[in-house]
């Protein structure tokens, strides 16, 4: 998963027409590492979405602006608008993440 390295890159990515999923994480988070173990398969199942990772500590103002209170969190953007937010306590299993991404279909 490509990592977002600048605020400008973040802005460019979330302002796209399609669905952009941004995983907010940190390098020290054990739940983030668990999510990383199964996210590749989920990304393949959701090839219609673009996936990126963003360090919530490095980009704390972006995390705060998006009300990211726990990590990992998966936020989904379209045309610069946050349309969905999977909070950390619901992002612990492949089933939880897959179900969340499936519900996005009704938001397109």
The residues that are catalytic are: 29, 32
**What whole-number distance in Å separates Cα of residue 34 and Cα of residue 84?**
21
Annotate 38-70 with b (16+ C-beta within 10 A) or e (fewer). ebeebeeebeebbbbbbbbeebeebbeebebee
């Amino acid at each position: 998963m490509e990592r977002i390295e600048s605020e400008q890159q973040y802005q460019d990515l979330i302002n796209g027409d399609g669905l952009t999923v941004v995983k907010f994480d940190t390098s020290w988070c054990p739940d983030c590492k668990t999510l990383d173990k199964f996210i590749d398969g989920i990304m393949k199942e959701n090839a219609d979405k673009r996936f990126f990772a963003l360090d919530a500590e490095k980009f704390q103002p972006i995390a705060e602006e998006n009300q990211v209170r726990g990590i990992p969190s998966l936020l989904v953007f379209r045309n610069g608008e946050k349309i969905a937010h999977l909070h950390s306590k619901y992002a612990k299993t492949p089933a939880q993440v897959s179900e969340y991404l499936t519900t996005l279909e009704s938001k397109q």
